[in-house]
Amino acid sequence: MRKFLTLTAAGLVLLPTAVFAHTGHPETSGFASGILHPITGMDHLLAMVAVGLIAAICGGRMLWLMPAAFLGAMLAGAALGLAGLTLPGVETAIVASVIALGVLVLVPARFVPRYGVVALTAIFGLFHGFAHGLEVPQGGSVAGYLFGFVLTTAGLHLAGLLIGRRVPVLAARLVGASIAVVGVSLAVAL
């Protein structure tokens, strides 16, 4: 367990220097940009892993329902961003998602109102998707970009699920606490 926590802490320290994923990306193909977008910003990365962790801790239908709610709402948010619509408070909502999802990992599953958490997850997915939709690279394939970021997001949810299913609950809760703390530091940086 100590080795796991050390590796987790080292991973957080070594994450990219860009705190937010919405700072612009080098012009690449739509698919490559989509694959990279969720992992080049700590805010997206941590929120998406936290969704998987919460789903793993809750178990049952939540194993697929939470990631599906996030992914579906994320695509809806991307459509809003691609359409050029505005959504107020995007950065604030994304940082709030990191904090809230990290805290939800800490809460014992029996105290989690399941469908409330699914609804909250979908709301957060909408804001993350909106940010993704605003970052579509010029000249790249929009469909490729969408497919790329959905694929990476699903992979991050799966990573959270695997962590949540493979490590003791206490270790998963410590990861959740770390995510919430990083979220608070992101909020201070806003």
For the chain, give every domain's residue range: 31-189
Instruction: Quote the pLDDT of residue 162.
Output: 95
Q: How far apart are the first and last CA of the chain?
A: 33
Residue 172, burial from CB neighbour count under 10 angstroms (0-12, 13-18, 19+): buried
Instruction: Quote the pLDDT of residue 5.
Output: 44
Instruction: Select from 80, 178, 180 the least CA-distant residue to 125.
Output: 80
pLDDT digits (tens, 9 = 90+) for 43-67: 999 999 999 999 999 999 999 999 9
Q: How far apart are CA 163 and CA 167, in angstroms?
A: 6
Say if CB 15 and CB 133 are below 8 A apart: no
Other Cβ atoms less than 10 A from the Cβ of 181: the count is: 14
Find all residues with CB under 8 Å of 50, minimum gap 6, and list them.
98, 101, 102, 104, 105, 160, 176, 179
Instruction: Quote the pLDDT of residue 4.
Output: 47
Instruction: Quote the pLDDT of residue 49.
Output: 97
Find all residues with CB under 8 Å of 32, minimum gap 6, and list them.
148
Instruction: Quote the pLDDT of residue 8.
Output: 45
Q: What is the mean pLDDT of each run of 10 residues along the chain (190 residues)?
A: 46 41 53 90 95 94 96 97 93 97 89 90 97 84 93 97 93 94 94
Instruction: Quote the pLDDT of residue 3.
Output: 53
Instruction: Quote the pLDDT of residue 23.
Output: 44
Instruction: Quote the pLDDT of residue 14.
Output: 42
Instruction: Quote the pLDDT of residue 148.
Output: 94
Find all residues with CB under 8 Å of 92, minimum gap 6, and list them.
190
